[in-house]
Amino acid sequence: MTVRIGVIGTGAIGRDHIDRVTRRIRGASVTAVTDLDRALAEKSAGEAKVYPDGAALIASPEVDAVLVACSDAAHAEHVLTAIAAGKPVLCEKPLAVTPEDCLRIMAAEESHGSRLVQVGFMRRYDAGYREMHRVISAGDIGRPLLMHCAHRNRASRPDYTTEMAVLSSGVHEIDAARWLLSDEIVSTQVINPRSTRHRLPHLTDPQFMLFETASGIRIDLEVFVNCRYGYDIRCETVGEEGLLRLPDPARPELRASARIGTAIDQEWDDRFSAAFDAELQAWVDSVPTGRATGPSSWDGYAATAVATATVRAQQSGDVEQVNMRERPAFYA
Amino acid sequence: MTVRIGVIGTGAIGRDHIDRVTRRIRGASVTAVTDLDRALAEKSAGEAKVYPDGAALIASPEVDAVLVACSDAAHAEHVLTAIAAGKPVLCEKPLAVTPEDCLRIMAAEESHGSRLVQVGFMRRYDAGYREMHRVISAGDIGRPLLMHCAHRNRASRPDYTTEMAVLSSGVHEIDAARWLLSDEIVSTQVINPRSTRHRLPHLTDPQFMLFETASGIRIDLEVFVNCRYGYDIRCETVGEEGLLRLPDPARPELRASARIGTAIDQEWDDRFSAAFDAELQAWVDSVPTGRATGPSSWDGYAATAVATATVRAQQSGDVEQVNMRERPAFYA
Amino acid sequence: MTVRIGVIGTGAIGRDHIDRVTRRIRGASVTAVTDLDRALAEKSAGEAKVYPDGAALIASPEVDAVLVACSDAAHAEHVLTAIAAGKPVLCEKPLAVTPEDCLRIMAAEESHGSRLVQVGFMRRYDAGYREMHRVISAGDIGRPLLMHCAHRNRASRPDYTTEMAVLSSGVHEIDAARWLLSDEIVSTQVINPRSTRHRLPHLTDPQFMLFETASGIRIDLEVFVNCRYGYDIRCETVGEEGLLRLPDPARPELRASARIGTAIDQEWDDRFSAAFDAELQAWVDSVPTGRATGPSSWDGYAATAVATATVRAQQSGDVEQVNMRERPAFYA
Amino acid sequence: MTVRIGVIGTGAIGRDHIDRVTRRIRGASVTAVTDLDRALAEKSAGEAKVYPDGAALIASPEVDAVLVACSDAAHAEHVLTAIAAGKPVLCEKPLAVTPEDCLRIMAAEESHGSRLVQVGFMRRYDAGYREMHRVISAGDIGRPLLMHCAHRNRASRPDYTTEMAVLSSGVHEIDAARWLLSDEIVSTQVINPRSTRHRLPHLTDPQFMLFETASGIRIDLEVFVNCRYGYDIRCETVGEEGLLRLPDPARPELRASARIGTAIDQEWDDRFSAAFDAELQAWVDSVPTGRATGPSSWDGYAATAVATATVRAQQSGDVEQVNMRERPAFYA
């Protein structure tokens, strides 16, 4: 069976997903696309049909599964429509921009009776993170106590805002931490170090975020989106019996010009290209089974709840509590 | 278009390829299988049809491309049949067990008028090797002068022979060296260190091989198939301006029990799993273009010529010359 | 000239210093020792004369320079006596347990007219820290913005207290940060993650400390004194142009038992043995010049001021301001 | 007791040793110097007395121990004179330029009745090599089977000759291998890869040397004295149970300009500075005991015997046997 995918949103991420499905993923093809900017949709369509809007695309009998990659604010609407149609959906993060909308999606999914939604936290498909998850879950470092993270980009685009350090960047670590630690974040705080001269004046960069989990694990996260030297993701978990650290990607070692060294990825899509492939493949593979796998609506809700509280913390300068519902048995 | 693949030989490697095509590769399906042991073929067939022999499989109109994974001695016959049928073929290494048979294949392919054959040297699809190739080709280490290699397996199977250290193991480095250095090996020698107590009595292990290229580069290669600690592939090229080293796979670093360390792969199919995927995908992608890419019949011939001379060197204890034809313009 | 050293305090550290002077340092000998426990002093004396108390030892014409290694509370008294006698003094950290006593020492030293005091912050003599200092001072990472530190011990002794995580352990990072960043710490905070089960009930362990400098650099420090796996000191400075990280000690890499790894030091005196030697040698070499070098009374004062505020922060759970005098021109 | 050292030869190495004794070593002073070039000796003398020749220096009652750092050809004469005078001697490598002269020294030392000679193989005092020795001796990698070595210099001086790749450079690995493996080298061979364009025309560079030990261990050694990128010493021992590798020196890791990397030493005296200190200190410490420690005349003899055979191998292009006496019980 070839899964026929409809893609909502053909901006950079959407086009990237279309390209992956077309050239790298097994068992799927893109049969439908739509975008608010119809010309853009047509440009990316290839052999896919262009639909006037998300609702029409989701309703099409030529669409088995829906990939939501439009603007964040429109995610919830399309996901809800897909659930109503009983169609599997891969939604780019965030699942929704408010916790309330995430809860609405959860309620709809629960009414449907089985998981239909996978949220696009692709780090869970990165080989290094996966092995960390395996080692921590196996108990090899004992109970986790601390986690030290960094999320660094070479340079930010002009429209990158201080809030995006949480909503676009840090949210990946928020999800990764929840997943690696099997724990929920209950409070959050943001500290502002001196900013780099290499940022635009409107931006606070770097930022230093602190999270606490329900069981008392403390997580610190440096988000630095103009670090100049490359795209660099660090994650280190300190447990009662040992410490585990995410590896740098394997690159040939060069000894030349009085230095021993390796290249470092410059962009996030280089660093996580294989993870994006694995994420999409896992999604495509899950469609025929009728049961979504990977990051769930609950995970999407938790990430949005923590991110929302963290944006409040950016503004208040205080420790902010994360207000979260209890996890429904449906998502256990 | 879905490439319909016929697989000749359903032993371990053949089954592994069937599994990859079925579960991991885009744009292909296995529609035909055959094996001398028909029961074995049927066990691996899945939805594919079982053919009585390679000739019947190759002739089938339901087979677009042929994957040869049977016993080494039968490779040449099937490759020649596939060429005669004008069908693309991916042949597991070696292309043939004698240089003469390789030349016969080259002649047939040249008569056909375009490349039909890809030889299964999957290291050329490993990310680390590929970046080494890129850096060396870019001239970043200057002209190569020396290459230091090691090929270590945790433990060899009882039927592994001293010759297989060349024919099954070292042949991968022979091809990788030729490819990385863009040079041909002209002489070869094998030196026997003291053997490990962890080998069966019939086996000489480790072995230390020395190669010289046409331009005077010296390559040394330790093949050690009972090294106990894991599967470990080392490759280091020393050039006039610097040195480049194949990385170890990226694995999370664990600090525990008074050690800092990482796990090491135990088996070759773990280490090169992504390379095998990429190799097969590249082959599948090349089929509709009508033009084979990757390691060619010429590469298969060169590897067999060097390996044959190296087996002579194992027996003589002397430096043996590699007798090779000049490279035909067809393979330039 | 051989510098004749009098050692006040012959507990573990004192004996260690005596041993270094006797066996590893050039140009010095221990001629005098004293301890509240006279029997202990006699046991460590070797060829040195045992004095009844610090005052007598300092006054002795056979003592050129004084090494203060007694209990923390008595440091200030002996340092002041040595200054009054015009004798150079190496004082183990802390210079004094209160900022006020440190100020008294600074005043006495300034009256004397030249530096007589070196404080025992030996990390400034560690090769890795020294190269970090050189690289940062050269501007290679631009202006520092963040510093991430960890101070981990394998296991703490039963009498180790929660306060000692600041006063005995973290104070090293406090000094190292001030030195590497050429900046003063102005506020401090302590966060308590879940404690490890491997600590005694009276102890909070690990602790996570946060510091801010006058120029807005943020420093975080994990102190974890029962981490189980070894003695591990981490220090990473993030600057506007790049990032610099303290190396792990160089140890042979072992590949065995399915792991690639190195040993890790188990105790602090293994890790910093060479730094202690270099510290003592630098001190001995400075004596004949009549001018102390290395960490000064000002550094001792600053460390005590920050540590005192940090202990307050442990108790209050709040951000505490560090109250420090302006740096006198004498210590510029 | 202060050991009064007489230094024969005040060229670069001699001056370096004088400097170490004067500024870094405990328990010794240089009281006497001599050089064929008297003006040079006077320039380096400091407070030491200048003697007309080695014999006069050795005979002086103001000399307790002799450090031989003159031209290689004169080593044997001075060492023999020192033995005749019953004075301890540290002789820079080689002990003598011919095996015969080494045997003469051994005979003289044996007649004296106890070891008086330490040969200047300072790698045995390098922390990395020492830990390798400890781990191998402990049996952690099982019986050694292979050793892979490299000795690379940034650039050679104009007067560096092809023979010096053995006599000045490779001889260090010859000694280190004998010491680490507790085995003797019995045959030797030199292979010439293509030479780098960065060498003077008279020089063959790099060279690739192969050694076999009595127990069948195979050692390969790349000597490359114009590698451009730095001073780089590699040593890897492959044993029946695992593999052990000499570490690169610990240097801070810098992430900047799209690279992750560390600096590499540019000169041998940077790389082995601490080893030279430890070597000299060990020698000085041994003088009062009346019993030389460290590399012995036997080690000096073995190194010269292997090096001599290796120079023959450079010329013959063949495998050359090393002709060595049996080890006298005196040196067991």
Which domains are assigned to chain A?
Answer: 3-123+275-295 (3.40.50.720), 127-267 (3.30.360.10)
The parts of chain C modelled with pLDDT lower than 70 are none
Q: Is B312 touching D (CB cutoff 8 A)? A: no
- Distance, in Å, from the CA atom of D208 to the CA atom of B26, rounded to the nearest integer, reads 47
- Distance, in Å, from the CA atom of A297 to the CA atom of C5, rounded to the nearest integer, reads 71
More confidently predicted of B268 and B249: B249
What is the distance in angstroms between the CA of the first residue and the CA of the last residue of chain D? 30
Digit-coded pLDDT (tens) for D65-121: 999 999 999 999 999 999 999 999 999 999 999 999 999 999 999 999 999 999 999
Amino acid B36: pLDDT: 97
Q: Is C208 touching A (CB cutoff 8 A)? A: yes
Residues of C in contact with A224 (CB under 8 A): 145-146, 238
Amino acid C137: pLDDT: 98
Per DSSP, the residues of A92-120 read PSPS-SSHHHHHHHHHHHHHHTS--EEE-
State the burial class of residue C59 (Cβ atoms within 10 Å of its Cβ: 0-12, 13-18, 19+).
middle
Residue contact A230–D255, C-beta within 8 A: yes
D2-19 CB burial, b ≥16 within 10 A, e <16: ebbbbbbbbeebbbebbe
Min Cα distance C248 → chain B (Å) is 10
Q: Give the residue among B76, B246, B8, B7 at the shortest CA–CA distance from B147.
A: B246
Residue contact D191–B210, C-beta within 8 A: yes
SS3 D130: helix
What is the widest separation between alpha-carbon atoms in chain B? 64
Average pLDDT over residues B91-99: 97
Residue contact A256–B141, C-beta within 8 A: yes
Q: Is D258 touching A (CB cutoff 8 A)? A: yes
Residue contact C240–A197, C-beta within 8 A: yes
Q: Is A258 touching C (CB cutoff 8 A)? A: no
Digit-coded pLDDT (tens) for D154-175: 999 999 999 999 999 999 999 9
Amino acid A21: pLDDT: 94
Among the partner-chain residues D27, D252, D281, the one whose CB lies closest to the CB of C246 is D252
Average pLDDT over residues A322-331: 96
C213 with C189: CB under 8 angstroms?
no
SS3 A19: helix
pLDDT bin (cut points 50, 70, 90) of residue D293 is: very high
D238 with B196: CB under 8 angstroms?
no
Chains touching chain D, criterion 3+ CB pairs below 8 Å? A, B, C
D136 with D208: CB under 8 angstroms?
no
Residue from B224, B254, B260, B267 to probe the interface with C (highest C Cβ count within 10 Å):
B260
Amino acid A283: pLDDT: 98
Q: Is D145 touching B (CB cutoff 8 A)? A: yes
Min Cα distance D275 → chain B (Å) is 25
Digit-coded pLDDT (tens) for A309-320: 999 999 999 999
Min Cα distance C256 → chain B (Å) is 5
> Is residue A1 pLDDT above 80, yes or no?
no
Among the partner-chain residues B23, B242, B255, the one whose CB lies closest to the CB of A254 is B242
Q: Is A1 touching B (CB cutoff 8 A)? A: no
Q: Which helix (H) or strand (E) holds A237?
A: strand A232-239
Residue contact A131–B251, C-beta within 8 A: yes
Residue contact D132–C256, C-beta within 8 A: no
Beta bridge partners of A91: A68, A119
- Distance, in Å, from the CA atom of D328 to the CA atom of A73, rounded to the nearest integer, reads 87
**Residues comprising chain B, all counted:** 332
Three-state secondary structure along C72-137?
HHHHHHHHHHHHHCCCCEEECCCCCCCHHHHHHHHHHHHHHCCCCEEECCHHHHCHHHHHHHHHHH
- Distance, in Å, from the CA atom of A243 to the CA atom of A143, rounded to the nearest integer, reads 10
Residue from B191, B194, B221, B226 to probe the interface with D (highest D Cβ count within 10 Å):
B194
Among the partner-chain residues D230, D259, D262, the one whose CB lies closest to the CB of A263 is D259
Residue with structure tokens 């807005």? C216
> Is residue A36 pLDDT above 90, yes or no?
yes
Q: Which residue of C has its CA nearest to B230?
A: C258
Chains touching chain B, criterion 3+ CB pairs below 8 Å? A, C, D
Average pLDDT over residues A211-216: 98
Mean pLDDT of chain D: 97
Amino acid C1: pLDDT: 72
Q: Which residue of B has its CA nearest to A249?
A: B250
Amino acid B282: pLDDT: 97
Residues 93-122 of D with CB under 8 A from B: none
Digit-coded pLDDT (tens) for B283-316: 999 999 999 999 999 999 999 999 999 999 999 9
Token pair in block for residue D248: 């690169």
Residue from B131, B227, B264 to probe the interface with D (highest D Cβ count within 10 Å):
B227
Residue contact B255–C264, C-beta within 8 A: yes
Residue contact D230–A258, C-beta within 8 A: yes
Residues of B in contact with C228 (CB under 8 A): 256
Say which amino acid occupies B320: E
Compute and round to an integer the Cα radius of gyration of chain B: 20
Residue contact C232–B255, C-beta within 8 A: yes
Residues of C in contact with D24 (CB under 8 A): 26, 281
Amino acid B319: pLDDT: 98
pLDDT bin (cut points 50, 70, 90) of residue D57 is: very high
- Distance, in Å, from the CA atom of B223 to the CA atom of B170, rounded to the nearest integer, reads 7
Token pair in block for residue C170: 């973290």
Residues of A in contact with D248 (CB under 8 A): 260
- Distance, in Å, from the CA atom of A287 to the CA atom of A67, rounded to the nearest integer, reads 12
pLDDT bin (cut points 50, 70, 90) of residue B166 is: very high
D196 with B240: CB under 8 angstroms?
yes
Amino acid D1: pLDDT: 72
Residues of D in contact with C135 (CB under 8 A): 252, 254
Q: Which residue of C has its CA nearest to A238?
A: C227
Residue contact A245–B253, C-beta within 8 A: yes
Residue contact B252–A245, C-beta within 8 A: yes
Q: Is D250 touching A (CB cutoff 8 A)? A: no
Min Cα distance A132 → chain C (Å) is 16
Angle, alpha carbons B189-B192-B196 (nearest 5°): 145
Amino acid C23: pLDDT: 87
Among the partner-chain residues A131, A241, A252, the one whose CB lies closest to the CB of B247 is A252
Q: Is D26 touching A (CB cutoff 8 A)? A: no
Among the partner-chain residues C232, C258, C264, the one whose CB lies closest to the CB of B264 is C258
SS3 C157: coil
Residues of C in contact with D147 (CB under 8 A): none
Residue from D196, D251, D259 to probe the interface with A (highest A Cβ count within 10 Å):
D259
> Is residue B1 pLDDT above 90, yes or no?
no
Q: Is the dihedral of CA D157, D161, D162, D163 positive or negative?
A: negative
Residue from D243, D277, D280 to probe the interface with C (highest C Cβ count within 10 Å):
D243
